[in-house]
Amino acid sequence: MVLAKRRYRHRYEVAATGTVLDFLGRAGYALPPMKKPYCFLLLLAGAGLWLACPVDADDQADRDRVEVTRTASEGGFQVAAGLNHQFRTDIDGGGEFAVTRGYGWVAVPRRLGADLSLVTRFRFELAGYDFTGPSTPWDVIQQYHLTAVLRFQRSEQWVIFAGPTVRWAGETGADFGDGFHGGGFAGVGYKASPRLDLAAGIGAVSQIEDHALVLPVLRVTWQFADQWWFRLGTVDVGNAGIGGTFDWQVSDPLRLSLGGFYQNNRFQLDDSGANRGGVGEDTGFALFVNLRWEVNRQFALDAHTGLVLGGELEVDDAPAGTNFDTDYDPAPFIGLRGVVRF
């Protein structure tokens, strides 16, 4: 993955070459300069849930891989729910905060023809921030993603994919119309060998109170040994972002993953308080360990723990004198998630 930093008025933005998964990844070339990094990966949205004719399920290894059409590779109708808690940590300048996130998704694949399929995925997240100290910049943040990816299997090796995405992110009580942004993408996937899958493309996405982005996209899934994989793309352990993992298949039901990703949450604030109508951001780099237990072919359980490094909180576009940009200390987190497949 390639990272590039540049400052905008003494603040930096990060561009990353990542995967197209949940939320179109960030990377590469921005139109006019932005204020900060946007580490959500633009997956794909728009079409509504198709509840019939599911795409045939792939085998167990494919179901677990992180790839451009994540839910298609995992096979079948899928429902997931999880809980993630980031423990209390100090904020530069005074005060502390903690975050508890509840989240989940529903994914529905549909076969449209012999070589054509559509995967629609809806993800939601509720994040409760608990601030103590001189200020409370925001409270409960809601995020909703609707994504859809259309896949055309050109041959055994080549896949063409494209789709739109739409996302709403805002504090409870925020103006509904101000929290929307979205875009679209297109690209190709190539199966270089039975152990190596690649995908590349380009996408464009709007931002809340900011300029649009044009984003190159890259995905890699590489089985470099019998029980080992390297995966580059979207990582989701309660919060999601662009990153990579090394995965070890310990036994048939158990897989251990070690990884890291850059997380970015940007959201519209409500119209009350000192920061009324502003835009909030919570960013950082997360390192984590995850253990997946495949209970059976229908149910899997994930348990993970990790540490957020380089965390930063920011408020922009608020009334004069109330904008701020501050760092926070390393913050440990834990989480648990269940996935049901049909």
Tell me which residue of 48, 46, 28, 45 sits closest to 37, measured CA to CA. Answer: 28
Segment (H or E) for 61: helix 60-64
Task: Give residue 320's pLDDT.
Answer: 65
H-type alpha helices, 86-191: none
- Supply the mean pLDDT for the chain: 79
Domains of the chain (ranges; CATH) run 3-341 (2.40.160)
Instruction: Give the E-state strand segments of 172-298 in sequence order.
Output: 180-193, 196-207, 210-225, 228-236, 240-249, 254-268, 279-294
pLDDT given for residue 75 in this prediction = 52
Percent of the chain with pLDDT over 70: 77
Q: Residue 233 in contact with residue 219, Cβ under 8 Å?
A: yes
Q: Look at residue 58 and tell me whether its pLDDT is greater than 50.
A: no
Query: Is it the case that residue 19 has pLDDT exceeding 80?
Result: no
Range 107-126 average pLDDT:
94
> What average pLDDT score do residues 225-247 get?
91
Residue 12 has pLDDT above 70, yes or no: no
Q: How far apart are CA 201 and CA 306, in angstroms?
A: 30
CA 27 – CA 204 distance, rounded (Å): 10
User: Is 293:64 a contact under the CB 8 Å cutoff?
Assistant: no
Q: Is residue 216 predicted with pLDDT exceeding 90?
A: no
Average pLDDT over residues 14-28: 35
Mapped onto helix, strand or coil, the DSSP state of residue 64 is: helix
- The Cβ-side half-sphere exposure at 313, using a 13 Å CA radius, reads 23
Per-residue pLDDT, averaged over 136-154, amounts to 94
Q: What is the pLDDT of residues 148-175, one digit of tens each?
A: 999 999 999 999 999 999 999 999 988 8
Say if residue 16's pLDDT is above 50: no
- In angstroms, the CA 120 to CA 336 distance is 24
Range 283-289 average pLDDT: 96
What is the value of pTM for the model shown? 0.76
Query: Collapsing DSSP states into helix, strand and coil, what is residue 281?
Result: strand
